[in-house]
Amino acid sequence: MKGYSTRDIAELLELPPELIREIARAGIIEPARTPGNQYRFNFQDIIVLRTAKELLQAGVRRAQINNALFKLKMKLPSNRPLTSLRITGDGGAVVIREEDQVYNPDSGQLHFNFAIADLAGTVAPLARQAAEAASQSDQLTSDDWFDLGVDLEAVSPEDAPAAYLRALELDPYHSDAHVNIGRLLQEAGEYETAEDHYNHALTAEPDNVLAAFNLGTLFEDMGRIQDAITAYKQAANLADAHYNLSRLYELVGEHAEALKHLKTYRSLIDPN
């Protein structure tokens, strides 16, 4: 089973194992469990536990810590970079930084100290060890390899494609793996191969809006504007797809369509 043990985390973060288990039992994080009922933590769990350590050292009261960690947990979806959040204790209060915004989750006021980006270099060797151990195992599923790829993207991006490819070897119809490796290939300028993966994702899961949206961005990168418009229409559940459609319709001179999609975009981002 993929993941890091309580002992791994205790050594990595220099936290008492009993504190790690206490936070897990409180439901702030939800680590996986082995058949022997032992915890297995992922990278996002490590972020939360590292934050708990920083807050305790900063003198933040335990009740405040639990509240802040629940909020941090909600702010760490799998589809966004972990490096966008920073959190610390400041004078006994909890503060969070997201991109250019720094705030106290309770009062709305500011300051910060601990950067999540700093943790990536520390965890990267552990993630690579997990990938190496996984390569020797025939018990991992395609989802396990996909999850490992997501973890590796956060701490060791150059190792992520191999994990996604292994997921696809086990399940050629794993649409999310196709999307993620397609994005990495697109970022590397390998447009034709990226297009193949996005199309495979849509074949496996025709309503995968992220695959359709990414395909739209790829076609824009390739200068294929009409194809981009078609792809964005498949991602109509996403507000950003309507924004991009508005922009592209304006570009090709279809002003009425551009206005229609701009209105849809505004209604989706501000329903009130």
Please name which of 85, 4, 22 lies closest in space to residue 51, comparing C-alpha atoms.
85
Of residues 34 and 223, which shows the higher confidence score? 223
Domains of the chain with CATH codes = 6-119 (1.10.1660)
Distance CA 89, CA 159 (A): 33
Give the Å distances, CA to CA, from 86 to 37, 89, 98, 247: 32, 11, 6, 33
pLDDT at 102 over 90: no
Give residue 209's pLDDT: 92
Give residue 34's pLDDT: 84
Give residue 245's pLDDT: 95
One-letter amino acid at 69 equals L
Most confident of 49-53, 79-83, 177-181: 177-181
Give residue 100's pLDDT: 44
Distance CA 211, CA 202 (A): 6
Stretch 199-222: mean pLDDT: 95
Distance CA 106, CA 94 (A): 8
* Residue 126, φ and ψ in degrees, nearest 5: -65, -40
Q: Look-up: residue for tokens 């973890």?
A: 151
Could you tell me if 184 and 160 are in contact, meaning their C-beta atoms sit under 8 angstroms apart? yes
Stretch 148-174: mean pLDDT: 85
pLDDT at 112 over 90: no
**Residue 106 — very low, low, confident or very high, per pLDDT cuts 50/70/90?**
very low
Residue by residue, what is the 3-state secondary structure of 170-217?
Answer: HCCCCHHHHHHHHHHHHHCCCHHHHHHHHHHHHHHCCCCHHHHHHHHH
Q: Look-up: residue for tokens 């459609």?
A: 245
- What pairs with residue 89 in β-bridges? 94
> Beta strand pairing status for 101-103 and 93-98?
antiparallel
Distance CA 5, CA 42 (A): 9
Could you tell me if 120 and 155 are in contact, meaning their C-beta atoms sit under 8 angstroms apart? yes
Most confident of 13-22, 37-46, 72-81, 248-257: 248-257
Could you tell me if 163 and 195 are in contact, meaning their C-beta atoms sit under 8 angstroms apart? no
Stretch 52-69: mean pLDDT: 71
Count the Cβ atoms, other than its own, within 10 Å of residue 135. 13
Of residues 266 and 88, which shows the higher confidence score? 266
Q: What is the pLDDT of residues 226-265, one digit of tens each?
A: 999 999 999 998 888 999 999 999 989 999 999 999 999 8
One-letter amino acid at 11 equals E
Could you tell me if 76 and 82 are in contact, meaning their C-beta atoms sit under 8 angstroms apart? yes
Q: Which of 16-20, 165-169, 182-186, 188-192 has the lowest mean pLDDT?
A: 16-20
Q: What one-character DSSP code corresponds to residue 82?
A: G
Of residues 55 and 142, which shows the higher confidence score? 142
- The percentage of the chain sitting over the pLDDT mark of 90, rounded to a whole number, equals 33
Give residue 134's pLDDT: 56
Give residue 122's pLDDT: 56
CA–CA–CA angle 161, 157, 155 (5° rounding): 135
Distance CA 228, CA 62 (A): 50
Please name which of 176, 181, 179, 170 lies closest in space to residue 141, comparing C-alpha atoms.
170
